[in-house]
Amino acid sequence: MPVQIRTSQNVLLEYEPASLGDRLVATLLDYLIFFGWLILAGYVANAGGRALGNYFWFFFVIAPFLLYDLLCEWLLNGQSLGKLAMSIRVVKFDGSRPGLGDYLIRWLFRLIDTRILNGVVAMVAVAANEQGQRLGDIAAGTTVVKVKAPITLDDVLHRMLPDDHVVQFPDVIALSDRDMNIVRDTLRTRHPLLLVRATERVKSVTGISSPMPADVFLQTVVADHQFMTTRGTA
């Protein structure tokens, strides 16, 4: 069952929830990283002898182990290294990007979800919840979904436009960068219903009236907005 996320612009996005297997493999990969880190710590401790002291074990072993999930998800946009390998990510149901507070809530609940009874609580919760949420997800209003496709250079850079590009909809200048990101995300989904809803939203904000098919209209909006914001309206 797809996870439906409605953004603040009233655009409905659908994601495939990460399966229990995906999350288990991601967790196992994270544990392999822990194991490798412990081997490295043991090697360093053996080489340094007693001179390293208790501070070494706290800052080099205990603290990284405890804070790994929190710091990774915060710094890597909802992904630990295991999640990154499995192409899954933490997202919020309101369409906004999870913040440090959201990741902190998930991290605090992890003690109950995954540490107690070796993760049985988390597995039962994810399996029983239609949105694929463990207790920490429910508390933070998040879930874990599959990343639809890797980010390519074309997603990061603007598409090349000819110098003689003719702007068809100058009113698209009223759209914010956030609006345009939503339009681009919707185009990537190629979902007919989402394309229609995004088109209606753009028309309501800009006042544009056009008989173009939804996908062609949105592609034209993206091109016009890019041209006007990067080369001016003169």
d(CA 202, CA 153): 26
Q: Got the DSSP string for 116-152?
A: GGGGHHHHHHHHH-TT---HHHHHHTEEEEE--SPPP
Q: Which tokens sit at 136?
A: 């920490």
pLDDT, tens digit only, all 234 positions of the chain: 667 666 655 556 667 888 889 999 999 999 999 899 889 888 887 776 666 667 778 888 888 888 999 999 999 989 999 999 999 999 988 777 899 999 999 999 988 887 766 778 888 888 888 788 999 999 999 999 988 654 444 444 456 677 778 899 999 999 988 888 888 888 887 788 888 999 999 999 999 999 999 999 999 999 898 888 876 544
pTM of the model: 0.61
- Domain coordinates of the chain in residue numbers? 3-146, 153-231
Closest to 214 measured CA to CA, from 228, 194, 231? 194
